[in-house]
Amino acid sequence: MDAINLMVDEHKYIKRMLAVIRKACINIMNGMEIDFKDFEDMIDFVRNYADKHHHGKEEKLLFNRMVDEIKGAAEKVVNFGMLVEHDLGRNYIKQLEESLKKVKQGDKDAKVDVIANAISYTHLLHKHIDTEDNVVYQLAKRELSNETLNKVTNECEKFEEEMSREGIQEKYIKMLEKLEKKYQ
């Protein structure tokens, strides 16, 4: 396993969920009722697969090493780019959840906030993923020592094994596939 290649592969699952979220929003715009359970699952996927599982590895295993070892450009792109965007994404999801609660409580106008926050999240993440895949990860591969890259990979392997024992990857990939079938 190569940790950076794994993170790129995880982006593919995340982008597939972004497509589901977008389609669910288009359905709302076309007059369909909000399926609150589906949005709960989308939020669960984002919080626990995209953020906790994937972003957690970036933040705990890769980004800190980039800042410490590469400095300069890595500090800027990580601290003032990637980490800020992680937090911005978390805020969009929090606002999405609050908007869904308002709709459940009868505030029909909050549907626009559901769509706005969900679509803002998808736009942010598409740009974010592109930057990570084509800039941040390439910088890490080019500038981090082989020793550091091997440490990141070893720690990532241990983390993945633990998450696999808990069924995390399987749970969220199945959830994604189920939602994709509904929101084709």
Mean pLDDT of the region 148-165: 97
pLDDT in tens, 70-84: 999 999 999 999 999
pLDDT of 111 reads 97
35 torsion bin: left (phi>0), alpha (psi -120 to 50), beta (else): beta
Averaged over 108-121, what is the pLDDT? Answer: 97
Q: What is the pLDDT of residues 13-44, one digit of tens each?
A: 999 999 999 999 999 999 999 999 999 999 99
CA atoms 16, 100, 90, 158: torsion sign = negative
pLDDT at 115 over 90: yes
- Token duo for residue 49: 């697969």
> Where residue 134 falls among pLDDT bands split at 50, 70, 90?
very high
pLDDT exceeds cutoff 90 at 184: no
Q: Whole-model pTM above 0.85?
A: yes
Both tokens assigned to 154: 């070893």
What count of residues does the chain have? 184
Q: If pLDDT is split at 50, 70 and 90, which confidence band does 158 have?
A: very high
Whole-number Å distance between alpha carbons of 162 and 168: 9
Residue 84 CA to residue 90 CA, distance in Å, equals 10
Q: How far is CA 121 from CA 71, 113, 144, 160, in A?
A: 29, 12, 30, 26
Q: What is the pLDDT of residue 160?
A: 96
Tell me the domains of the chain and their CATH numbers. Answer: 3-182 (1.20.120.520)
CA neighbours within 13 Å on the CB side: how many for 98? 9
